[in-house]
């Protein structure tokens, strides 16, 4: 295949965009529900993956920690298998077009739409002393992230579907007013591992910001720490490993085990037939710890090479900026902004 054919093949591929905030320690929920799935898509799609540091500041951050976690998140992307040659990997704040388009789209977003966002309500309760405008309008920035790159698909968890729907509504509203401008994105939701729950309270999603250290398992947690957390996982009074209503803790552990082993729930039930919860929890912990060990080792090596990570950031920002500039230019022309040539 010559260079022209390669270019045409790349252009025929659909574009995927997604990102993770560099706030808190990324969990196995982030890994199963997002990052690991991304690695499976990089050969089939034009993939653009961002470290969304601008989203992180809706909650107060310690600047030094935010910088460190930005490098760490990029390193995790690469350690998990995202090839910088196959994907555009960049940091959101390195591409100012995100903020520019967010303002433009904010003028096409209704106050009522934003007030109905469930995550705004949740975060407002958790950060009652800092209910800032960014917390209210950050779904518009998320829409700008997606629409800026004319993304066809957006890998989303169930808790982000509402934000994707808003992005779609904004795109349709703008297109109806000014003509075909934005690709209207669809969600890409994996069948398994959509939502990994807390080990301490399986009725809640596993969160990197959970104050209970035993509630979540971090991608970078130590081997023994991972096993210990799973052994302490909350279950029920039953002793049989089976997937059923009312067994939220075991259902969650079975989902995690299934995601890391590829085994069906039926196969898991047969494997642990006659065994108790203790054996099962230990097996889940050891499987997760073993699976993440190569990633942690590669991550450690990457974090020792800051210059390499900055090269990836720079290359990614340049590639992302070229795509973003085309979208912003089109939008501003349609809005009637005077543009310099």
257 token code pair: 């085990």
Cα R_g (the chain), whole angstroms: 21
CATH 3.30.930.10 assigned to domain 223-300? The reply is no
Map out the domains of the chain as residue ranges. 3-189+306-335, 223-300
DSSP state string for 235-248: --S-------TT-H
Q: Which residues lie below 8 Å from residue 140, measured CB to CB, with a gap of 6+?
A: 102, 105, 106, 109, 114, 166, 170
Count of residues in the chain? 341
User: Domain 3-189+306-335 adopts which CATH fold?
Assistant: Rossmann fold (3.40.50)
Structure tokens at 86: 């196959």
Q: What is the pLDDT of residue 102?
A: 98
What is the torsional sign of CA 88, 52, 154, 79? positive
Q: What is the pLDDT of residue 208?
A: 78
- Nearest-angstrom CA–CA distance, 330 and 318: 19
Strands 87-91 and 186-188, by their bridges, are unpaired
Which contacts (CB < 8 Å, 24+ apart) does range 302-310 have?
302/75, 302/78, 302/79, 303/71, 303/72, 303/75, 306/71, 309/71, 309/74, 309/75
Q: What pTM was computed for the model?
A: 0.88
Q: At CA 170, angle to CA 166 and CA 174, rounded to 5?
A: 170
How is 23-71 classified by DSSP, letter by letter? Answer: SSPPBHHHIIIIIHHHHHHTTTSEEEEEE-HHHHTTS---HHHHHHHHH
Would you tell me how many other CB atoms lie within 10 Å of the CB of residue 297? 11
138, 125, 134: which is closest to 19 by C-alpha? 138
Give the span between the Cα atoms of 333 and 96, in whole angstroms. 18
- The pLDDT value recorded for residue 193 is 52
The whole-angstrom distance between residue 156's C-alpha and the CA centroid of its chain comes to 7
CB of 41 within 8 A of CB of 55?
A: no
Residues 6+ apart with CB under 8 A from 45: 13, 14, 15, 16, 153
Which pLDDT value is given to residue 124?
A: 66
Q: Tokens in use for 289?
A: 């710890």
- Nearest-5° angle of CA 74, CA 75, CA 81? 100
* Enzyme catalytic residues: 123, 205, 208
CA gap 65, 26 in Å, rounded: 14
Q: Which residues pair with 188 in a beta bridge?
A: 155
Low-confidence ranges of the chain (pLDDT < 70): 1-11, 121, 123-128, 157-159, 190-194
Structure tokens belonging to residue 334: 């349609």
Rounded Cα distance between 293 and 178, Å, is 51
């Amino acid at each position: 295949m010559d260079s022209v054919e390669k270019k045409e093949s790349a252009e025929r591929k659909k574009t995927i965009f997604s990102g993770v905030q560099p706030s808190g320690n990324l969990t196995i929920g982030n890994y199963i529900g997002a990052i690991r799935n991304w690695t499976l898509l990089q050969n089939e799609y034009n993939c653009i993956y961002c470290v969304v540091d601008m989203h992180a500041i809706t909650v107060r951050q310690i600047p030094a920690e935010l910088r460190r976690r930005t490098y760490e998140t990029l390193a995790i992307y690469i350690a998990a298998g995202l090839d910088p040659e196959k994907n555009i990997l960049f940091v959101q704040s390195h591409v100012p077009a995100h903020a520019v388009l967010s303002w433009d789209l904010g003028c096409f977003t209704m106050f009522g739409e934003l007030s109905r966002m469930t995550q705004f309500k949740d975060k407002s309760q958790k950060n009652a002393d800092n209910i800032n405008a960014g917390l209210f309008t950050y779904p518009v920035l998320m829409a700008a992230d997606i629409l800026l790159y004319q993304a066809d698909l957006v890998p989303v968890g169930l808790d982000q579907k509402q934000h994707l729907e808003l992005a779609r509504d904004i795109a349709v509203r703008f297109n109806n007013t000014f003509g075909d401008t934005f690709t209207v994105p669809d969600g890409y939701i994996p069948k398994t591992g959509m939502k990994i729950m807390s080990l301490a309270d399986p009725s809640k999603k596993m969160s990197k910001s959970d104050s209970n250290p035993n509630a979540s398992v971090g991608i970078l947690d130590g081997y023994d720490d991972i096993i210990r957390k799973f052994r302490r996982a909350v279950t029920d009074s039953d002793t049989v490993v089976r997937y059923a209503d009312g067994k939220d803790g075991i259902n969650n552990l079975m989902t995690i085990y299934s995601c890391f082993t590829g085994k069906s729930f039926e196969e898991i039930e047969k494997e642990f037939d006659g065994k108790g919860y203790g054996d099962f929890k230990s097996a889940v912990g050891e499987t997760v710890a073993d699976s993440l060990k190569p990633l942690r080792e590669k991550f450690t090596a990457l974090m020792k090479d800051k210059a390499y990570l900055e090269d990836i950031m720079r290359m990614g920002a340049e590639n992302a900026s070229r795509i973003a500039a085309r979208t912003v230019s089109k939008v501003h022309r349609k809005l009637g902004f005077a543009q310099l040539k």
